[in-house]
């Protein structure tokens, strides 16, 4: 059972949380979640990166530099969608980072059917996904390595989103990513909520579950 609530400032030892956004945005979509975490007593930072102009390894290198510049230990990570794959690349390439717990929101840890559908059209794939597809992120087997930290994954079931335009997504899905795609071997916990893909970072219940995992290593089921 987790009693964490947005706005709870009873925590005695503040933790640092870095938020990593998803595709086509620069971090503005994480502002509300950042505010809720800040109200709860966390020290928060948003990491912004070029989602289309650079590939996973390049963005991972930049995130590594950003995390090291914070000079604090441990650092918790919360990422939405593509941001979760950037985290996986970063933690694979830079295992020495002082990382605490990790939460991904609607990140496709397995093959993303919607992204794979886009990538099969060469000009459209380059336009919408850019260099994110250079390393086979959306190939058949997806990213090959699993989590090496306490990792929680949040999935959505409100099937409203652009992903349905590019692939026939099996239910349940959040309109872009299926629930099955948000799972991977080695997860500490996994939870499914009635929210769509783009609404993940704005949803109050999602924020509550993020805080619950950061504090206990488990979601409140």
Per the domain annotation, does 175 fall within a domain? yes
pLDDT of residue 9: 42
pLDDT, average across residues 194-221: 97
pLDDT in tens, 162-203: 766 567 889 999 999 999 999 998 899 999 999 999 999 999
pLDDT in tens, 141-169: 445 555 678 999 999 999 987 766 567 88
- Domain hosting 99: range is 16-215
Residue 178 CA to residue 188 CA, distance in Å, equals 19
CATH of the domain at 135: 3.40.50.1820
**What is the pTM for the complete model shown?**
0.88
Q: DSSP assignment of 128-195, as one string?
A: HHGGGGTT-TTSTT------SSEEEEEEE----SGGGGTS-PPSSB-SSSBTGGG--TT-SEEEEES-
Number of domains in the chain: 1
| Structural contact between residues 110 and 136, judged by C-beta atoms closer than 8 angstroms | no
What is the rounded average pLDDT for all residues in the chain? 86
């Amino acid at each position: 059972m987790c009693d964490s609530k947005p706005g709870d400032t009873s925590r005695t030892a503040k933790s640092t949380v870095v938020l990593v956004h998803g595709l086509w945005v620069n971090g503005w979509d994480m502002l509300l979640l950042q505010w809720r975490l800040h109200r709860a007593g966390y020290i928060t930072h948003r990491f912004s990166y070029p989602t289309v102009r650079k590939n996973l390894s390049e963005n991972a290198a930049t995130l590594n530099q950003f995390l090291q510049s914070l000079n604090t230990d441990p650092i918790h990570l919360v990422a939405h969608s593509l941001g979760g794959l950037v985290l996986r690349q970063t933690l694979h390439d830079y295992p020495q980072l002082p990382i605490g717990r990790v939460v991904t929101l609607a990140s496709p840890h397995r093959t993303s059917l919607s992204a794979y559908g886009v990538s099969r059209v060469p000009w459209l794939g380059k336009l919408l996904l850019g260099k994110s597809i250079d390393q086979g992120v959306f190939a058949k087997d997806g990213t090959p390595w699993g989590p090496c930290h306490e990792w929680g994954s949040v999935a959505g079931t409100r099937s409203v989103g652009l992903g349905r335009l590019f692939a026939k997504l099996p239910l349940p899905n959040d309109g872009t990513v299926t629930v099955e795609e948000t799972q991977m071997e080695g997860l500490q916990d996994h939870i499914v909520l009635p929210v769509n893909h783009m609404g993940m970072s704005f949803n109050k219940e999602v924020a509550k579950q993020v805080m619950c995992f950061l504090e206990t290593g488990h979601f409140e089921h």
